[in-house]
């Protein structure tokens, strides 16, 4: 359950960012989670909610944004995004795809009220 460790780091980071930026109430947290990380969204959300209960972040709802794997053919430029690497080009048949992304763990937005 790497979701536990990720949720703990996430709550800590959100708290620090909210403090740095003087945000009193965080209502939503947008986090990009690369699909290669094999994170179960509902597990991460549940652990996060459990962790922030009774803290200043109690009202923050987690919004998970999937980070798909990007596979690109350098020969013909064909590109695809999916949950896992695609290693052969569906257009020209080349087997030299360049794979990127899918490993992100980034806080992309916080929502607050004013």
- Looking at residues 69 to 108 of the shown chain, list those that interact with other proteins (rule: CB under 8 A): 84-85, 87, 95, 99, 103, 105-108
Nearer to Zn ion, 62 or 73 (CB): 73
Rounded-to-integer distance, Cα 75 and Cα 4, Å: 41
64 binds other proteins (CB under 8 A): no
Query: Do the Cβ atoms of 34 and 102 come closer than 8 Å?
Result: yes
Query: Could you give the maximum distance between any two Cα atoms of the chain, in Å?
Result: 56
Of 22, 53, 54, 114, the one binding other proteins (CB under 8 A) is: 114
Residue 21 engages other proteins in binding (rule: CB under 8 A): yes
Q: At what angle do helices 2-20 and 41-52 cross, to 10 degrees?
A: 50
Q: Contact with Zn ion (CB under 5 A): which of 15, 75, 79, 111?
A: 75
* 10: enclosing H helix or E strand: helix 2-20
Residue tagged 């597990």 (tokens): 43
Binding footprint of other proteins on the chain (CB under 8 A): 1-2, 4-6, 9-10, 12-13, 17, 21, 23, 27-28, 30-31, 36-38, 84-85, 87, 95, 99, 103, 105-114
């Amino acid at each position: 359950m790497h979701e536990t460790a990720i949720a703990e780091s996430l709550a800590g980071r959100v708290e620090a960012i909210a403090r740095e930026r003087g945000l009193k109430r965080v209502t939503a947290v947008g986090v990009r989670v690369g699909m290669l990380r094999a994170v179960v969204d509902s597990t991460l959300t549940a652990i996060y909610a459990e962790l922030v209960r009774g803290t200043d972040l109690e009202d923050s709802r987690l919004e998970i944004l999937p980070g798909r794997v990007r596979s690109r053919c350098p020969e013909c430029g064909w590109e695809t995004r999916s949950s896992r690497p695609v290693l052969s080009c569906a257009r020209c048949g080349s087997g030299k795809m360049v794979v990127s992304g899918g490993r992100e763990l980034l806080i992309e937005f916080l929502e607050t009220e004013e």
